[in-house]
A and B are shown apart, each in its own frame.
Chain A
Amino acid sequence: MPDLLIELFSEEIPAQMQRRAAEDLQKLVTDGLVTAGLTYAHAVSFSTPRRLTLALEGMLAASPAVVEDRKGPKADAPEKAIEGFLRGAGVTRDQLETRETPKGDVLFARIEKPGRPAAEIIAEVLEQTIRNFPWPKSMRWGDGALKWVRPLHSIIALITTEEGAEVVPMTVDGITAGRATQGHRFMAPGQITVSGFEDYEAKLKRAYVVLNPADRAETIWHDGTNLAFAQGLEVVEDQGLLAEVSGLVEWPVTLMGPIADDFLGLPPEVLQTSMREHQKFFSVKNPKTNRIEKFITVANRETADEGATILAGNEKVLSARLADAKFFWENDLRVAKADMNQWVQDLENVTFHSKLGTQAELIERMAVLARELAPLVGADPDEAEEAARLAKADLSSEMVYEFPELQGLMGSYYAKAAGKSDAVANAAKEHYAPLGPSDDVPTAPVSVAVALAEKIDKLTGFWAIDEKPTGSKDPYALRRAALGVIRILVENDLGLALDRFIDSQLVRNKGMAVPELDNGPIEEFVREIAEHGVFGAAFRTVMDRHEAGTTATAIRNIGEQVPDKSKNLLSFLHDRLKVYLRDQGVRHDIIDACIAMEGNDDLTLLVKRARALSETLNTDDGENLIQGFKRANNILSQAEEADGVEYSYGADVRFAETDEERALFHALDAAEAKITPAMARQDFTTAMSAMAALRAPIDAFFDAVQVNADNGTVRRNRLNLLSRIRSICTSVADLTKVEG
């Protein structure tokens, strides 16, 4: 069976696009061939900076012939309709066949599609592929109309069989497919002609091109680690960089060079970032000192001087880059040591969001909130406030301007240099965390206070101005912020009722948009919220005090919107919590049953309740209890509806007629005696196992007892008994929400 070799040879393809492009080439071509009936046994694709290559093995030499029966009009249809069918099917009248069908005699055409030779199909499919290639960005060149990622120079499309190789006859925008390509741009200039994939790969290698990017990556890593190892050093692993560098070279030559002593005092993250971002160098670390002392660069060629000139040039460029970094570092240190607050002041000129004020105002809100949160997370309020004020100061530093990805981290270095406490310094680098679902959450109390304040302020701020995430759009990463709040609280086991902080921070953020309100009335409002614990009473108190005038109007405008937004934000947090718990195997209906309970703004409590309920329901007793509970609840609800009363009180064991009924009375008394104190100390496990113990008596009760007895007193007593089941069970969680 024939094999196929395709190569699309162009000017340098961006490294980041190569891998995907090779996959796309393989998919588009093979899909096209298979659709046309040309199957194959095996396909591989490769990329280098200048080429995309696809090789197929065991391809059919031609697509199989296909016979199709096409149904036409009825035999007695008008002549015009029949003629139209003949034209469409490409057959003549005498080739039609009349068949009986339930609808009468119908004409059928038997269309034989002969198989087509592979070359013909490949030419079509490859041209389509080239013309519709899904490059993230593509371009035209010269006076042509074809689009490719960079100018396309040549095409190999070669079918090989035991008899020899045959070029697929095709031309795309003036480029005629052939069997020639080029080797390394500098080390082996000129054309090479190939006869098939093996020959192609071997000749490329002789022409200093390693076709397989995985091989290039392996060479780079292998040679790099060897160079480092020989000097007792190790290469800092960086898979992203390795993939990128593999896409920048056809013939990787790994070279290691020193970092001048001048720069060894820079923080390792600065060295690493500068070298990676600007120069695409790997960092080489001394495992003894943990310092980055050398770099590894990957050249695209061998030279007579064994890379000496190349290495010297790279060292020089690196020195210039690091001189910049050192300049930033030293300038920043000077400012930080003098007064880091200068940076915060500079942020007065930087807009955070047009409706939420400047970065400096954001920091002010964060600082106030961090102070309020501090006692609840075990942090010192003064330290938390100071940490929050300084956490974003580094946004004004020169280093972060140059390397935005170092934000927070630089702040930590600068805060330490400025003599701040470790807690304050660490909060700068930790307050952005967690950045993703697998990122660590901060655990140090001051960091926790600042990280929570940052996220709660962000959420309330964007809620205040109605910029919530919709569908796939979440430009301010608010889902991530919400998950951050959840994880920080839950994973640190911090019980904290969020409601009042959400209300306060909404008031502060809404206040931003009202120029006639200064901080006075806003903070007065916030104090009242803290005082009353509930928003409504605080709002009324403030309104009573201001009765009339512009301040009153402004406060009213803010206050009226807070309850809705607060509720909405809390339910957003609950939605994110469902996602978080679902990933841990807790069902959404279980979470709903817990959200329906009081105190659902304490997420840690909510999670504990949900986990305990989930565990209980996973037991046999728990699962059956739900059935019993539902049965009790259904009978009760129906009776309540029919009778127009609520059965809630007065079940008396004296009216019990059967042992099972009496047993249930006792079981409920016993359960209640355990559940009430357990709930008071938030011991959900005990409460729920006590609840689950009701399963047997409830089942026995329903087996033996007819609730709707003829005797009205007995019936009422039994309904009141069911009501005890409902009230005891729903004191633990709203079991009506549980499915099953």
Chain B
Amino acid sequence: MSQTTAAPRSFQAIILALQSYWASKGCAILQPYDMEVGAGTFHPATTLRSLGSRPWTAAYVQPSRRPTDGRYGENPNRLQHYYQYQVLIKPSPPDLQDLYLGSLEAIGIDMDLHDIRFVEDDWESPTLGAWGLGWEVWCDGMEVSQFTYFQQVGGHDCHPVSGELTYGLERLAMYVLGVDHVMDMPFNDPDAPIPLTYADVFKQTEEEYARWNFDTANTDVLLRQFEEAEAHCKAILDQPATDPKTGKRIIMAHPAYDQCIKASHMFNLLDARGVISVTERQAYIGRVRALAKMCADAFVDTRAGGRTEDAA
């Protein structure tokens, strides 16, 4: 463990420390997925790659959007757009807890002074048809990460089991940096020629998106886009496995999954607009879950999903 790292002084220093720590532990450092998602779990590097028998190890930052959490940038802790740091290792290594604790040291949390606890928290994603058991990790009473052993994703049992770590980056960084309001947090080094705070980067967008999410997003358009994405996803998966042009077996699990992600985000936006009733809610979640399951079914039938090539 690198004890030499100077204590981080900015949001990005914490992200960089996590990146280099997990790189040093052998993870492939991926980039964020280029679509709107509600959490790092939606990145296909987690959802799809946790399926099937092939080993996998990846870490990445994922910008995440939760339209209902928007507070116009005024709440010290709540944002409609925030960052998660996500680690997925399959099969989960026996020392995953120790690896995780090492990452906290890497961002400057002194294990000799703090009280770290693993407190039961079972994870379930109704939209992904996924669940797992694990903990929320507490540092001095504050939740700093989610730690989950995936048991099922997209309705499929996970064999082997992936270990998933999710860090809420803003909250963790605020804690490490001793900042009380997210907008006051230094984004780059405070001594940089042009120092920027989190507010400099995101205050305006939080306002803009809060207004759009809550009041002006066109619900007819959103609803249509939800339905189009749903239909599109199914249509992609209805294609024959063999590509008529190349003659190769190409199941388009990822393009279909993109449409599933899109439908999920449209649902979140509709929810924020307050046009989905309690009873309808369950129905929408069920529709997204059906898509996620179809994509999972498709993925496990591909090479990356663990399918051993036909003799033919």
Cβ contact within 8 Å between B161 and A303: no
Cβ contact within 8 Å between A303 and B113: yes
Q: Which of the candidate stretches A225-233, A311-319, A513-521, A541-549 sits at the interface with the other chain?
A: A311-319
- A residues less than 8 Å from B112 (CB atoms): 186, 303-304
Nearest-Cβ distance from residue B55 to partner chain A, whole angstroms: 9
Cβ contact within 8 Å between A313 and B139: yes
Is A289 part of the contact surface with B, judged by Cβ < 8 Å? no
- A residues less than 8 Å from B132 (CB atoms): 139
Nearest-Cβ distance from residue B98 to partner chain A, whole angstroms: 9
Cβ contact within 8 Å between B161 and A141: yes
Cβ contact within 8 Å between A142 and B122: no
- B residues less than 8 Å from A149 (CB atoms): 133
How far, in angstroms, from A320 to B119 measured CA to CA in the complex?
Answer: 20
Q: Which of the candidate stretches A7-15, A61-69, A435-443, A621-629 sits at the interface with the other chain?
A: A7-15
User: Contact check: which of B92, B117, B120, B142 meets A142 at CB < 8 Å?
Assistant: B92
Q: Which of the candidate stretches A294-302, A497-505, A580-588 sits at the interface with the other chain?
A: A294-302
Is A143 part of the contact surface with B, judged by Cβ < 8 Å? yes
Cβ contact within 8 Å between A140 and B151: yes
Cβ contact within 8 Å between B116 and A142: no
User: Contact check: which of A16, A304, A305, A351 meets B278 at CB < 8 Å?
Assistant: A351
- A residues less than 8 Å from B115 (CB atoms): 299-301, 303, 310, 313
User: Contact check: which of A142, A301, A313, A349 meets B91 at CB < 8 Å?
Assistant: A142
- B residues less than 8 Å from A138 (CB atoms): 133
How far, in angstroms, from A300 to B151 measured CA to CA in the complex?
Answer: 29
Cβ contact within 8 Å between A351 and B279: yes
How many of A's residues come within 8 Å of B, CB to CB?
43
B116-142 vs A, CB cutoff 8 Å, 1 = contact: the mask equals 111110100000000011110001111
Cβ contact within 8 Å between B141 and A318: yes
How far, in angstroms, from A649 to B35 measured CA to CA in the complex?
Answer: 94
With known contacts A12-B118, A305-B113, A320–B76 Cβ distance under 8 A: yes
Q: Find residues 12-50 in chain A having any chain B CB closer than 8 Å to their own CB.
A: 12, 14-16, 49
- A residues less than 8 Å from B257 (CB atoms): none
- A residues less than 8 Å from B76 (CB atoms): 320, 323
- B residues less than 8 Å from A141 (CB atoms): 91-92, 149, 161, 163
Cβ contact within 8 Å between B279 and A279: no
- B residues less than 8 Å from A318 (CB atoms): 141
Cβ contact within 8 Å between A314 and B141: yes
Cβ contact within 8 Å between A16 and B92: no
Is A350 part of the contact surface with B, judged by Cβ < 8 Å? yes
B28-51 vs A, CB cutoff 8 Å, 1 = contact: the mask equals 000000000000000000000000
User: Quick one: closest A residue to B110, CB to CB?
Assistant: A309
Nearest-Cβ distance from residue A315 to partner chain B, whole angstroms: 9
Cβ contact within 8 Å between A151 and B91: no
Is A150 part of the contact surface with B, judged by Cβ < 8 Å? yes
User: Quick one: closest B residue to A313, CB to CB?
Assistant: B140
A180-215 vs B, CB cutoff 8 Å, 1 = contact: the mask equals 000000100000000000000000000000000000
Nearest-Cβ distance from residue A310 to partner chain B, whole angstroms: 5
- A residues less than 8 Å from B160 (CB atoms): 142-143
Cβ contact within 8 Å between B117 and A248: yes
Is A137 part of the contact surface with B, judged by Cβ < 8 Å? yes
How many of B's residues come within 8 Å of A, CB to CB?
38
How far, in angstroms, from A14 to B112 measured CA to CA in the complex?
Answer: 24
How far, in angstroms, from A316 to B77 measured CA to CA in the complex?
Answer: 13
Cβ contact within 8 Å between A11 and B118: yes
Nearest-Cβ distance from residue A53 to partner chain B, whole angstroms: 19
Is B231 part of the contact surface with A, judged by Cβ < 8 Å? no
Is A711 part of the contact surface with B, judged by Cβ < 8 Å? no
With known contacts A317-B140, A350-B278, A310–B111 Cβ distance under 8 A: no
How far, in angstroms, from A323 to B77 measured CA to CA in the complex?
Answer: 11
How far, in angstroms, from A150 to B119 measured CA to CA in the complex?
Answer: 12
Cβ contact within 8 Å between A313 and B142: yes
With known contacts A15-B120, A186-B111, A248-B117, A140–B140 Cβ distance under 8 A: no
With known contacts A11-B118, A15-B120, A16-B120, A142–B279 Cβ distance under 8 A: no
User: Quick one: closest A residue to B119, CB to CB?
Assistant: A248
Is B247 part of the contact surface with A, judged by Cβ < 8 Å? no
Cβ contact within 8 Å between A310 and B278: no
Is A153 part of the contact surface with B, judged by Cβ < 8 Å? yes
Is A239 part of the contact surface with B, judged by Cβ < 8 Å? no
How far, in angstroms, from A143 to B157 measured CA to CA in the complex?
Answer: 12
Interface centre among A138, A149, A317 (most CB of B within 10 A): A317
With known contacts A151-B149, A297-B141, A313-B142, A139–B133 Cβ distance under 8 A: yes
How far, in angstroms, from A304 to B134 measured CA to CA in the complex?
Answer: 30
User: Contact check: which of A137, A249, A314, A350 meets B140 at CB < 8 Å?
Assistant: A314
Is A354 part of the contact surface with B, judged by Cβ < 8 Å? yes
Cβ contact within 8 Å between A142 and B278: no
Nearest-Cβ distance from residue A47 to partner chain B, whole angstroms: 14
User: Contact check: which of B77, B116, B159 meets A186 at CB < 8 Å?
Assistant: B116
Nearest-Cβ distance from residue A298 to partner chain B, whole angstroms: 9
User: Contact check: which of B94, B122, B151 meets A151 at CB < 8 Å?
Assistant: B94
Nearest-Cβ distance from residue A152 to partner chain B, whole angstroms: 10
User: Quick one: closest A residue to B89, CB to CB?
Assistant: A142
How far, in angstroms, from A477 to B193 measured CA to CA in the complex?
Answer: 66
B139-150 vs A, CB cutoff 8 Å, 1 = contact: the mask equals 111100000010
Interface centre among A140, A281, A317, A351 (most CB of B within 10 A): A140
Q: Find residues 144-189 in chain B having any chain A CB closer than 8 Å to their own CB.
A: 149, 151, 158-161, 163, 175, 180
Is B93 part of the contact surface with A, judged by Cβ < 8 Å? yes
Q: Find residues 126-158 in chain A having any chain B CB closer than 8 Å to their own CB.
A: 137-143, 149-151, 153
Nearest-Cβ distance from residue B275 to partner chain A, whole angstroms: 12
Is B114 part of the contact surface with A, judged by Cβ < 8 Å? yes
How far, in angstroms, from A570 to B88 measured CA to CA in the complex?
Answer: 59
B80-100 vs A, CB cutoff 8 Å, 1 = contact: the mask equals 000000000001111001000
A329-358 vs B, CB cutoff 8 Å, 1 = contact: the mask equals 000000000000000000001110010000
B44-88 vs A, CB cutoff 8 Å, 1 = contact: the mask equals 000000000000000000000000000000001100000000000
- B residues less than 8 Å from A142 (CB atoms): 91-94, 160-161
Nearest-Cβ distance from residue B170 to partner chain A, whole angstroms: 13
User: Quick one: closest B residue to A255, CB to CB?
Assistant: B115
A222-262 vs B, CB cutoff 8 Å, 1 = contact: the mask equals 00000000000000000000000000110000000000000
Cβ contact within 8 Å between A137 and B122: yes
With known contacts A151-B149, A351-B279, A317–B141 Cβ distance under 8 A: yes
How far, in angstroms, from A80 to B193 measured CA to CA in the complex?
Answer: 98
Cβ contact within 8 Å between B161 and A139: yes
User: Quick one: closest B residue to A189, CB to CB?
Assistant: B98
24 CB-based A-B contacts, threshold 8 Å: A16-B120, A137-B122, A138-B133, A141-B92, A141-B149, A142-B94, A143-B159, A150-B133, A151-B92, A151-B149, A153-B94, A249-B117, A303-B113, A305-B113, A309-B114, A310-B114, A313-B114, A313-B115, A313-B139, A313-B140, A313-B175, A314-B140, A317-B141, A318-B141
Further contacts, 7 of them, CB under 8 A, given A139-B132, A350-B278: A12-B120, A139-B161, A141-B92, A300-B116, A304-B112, A314-B140, A323-B76
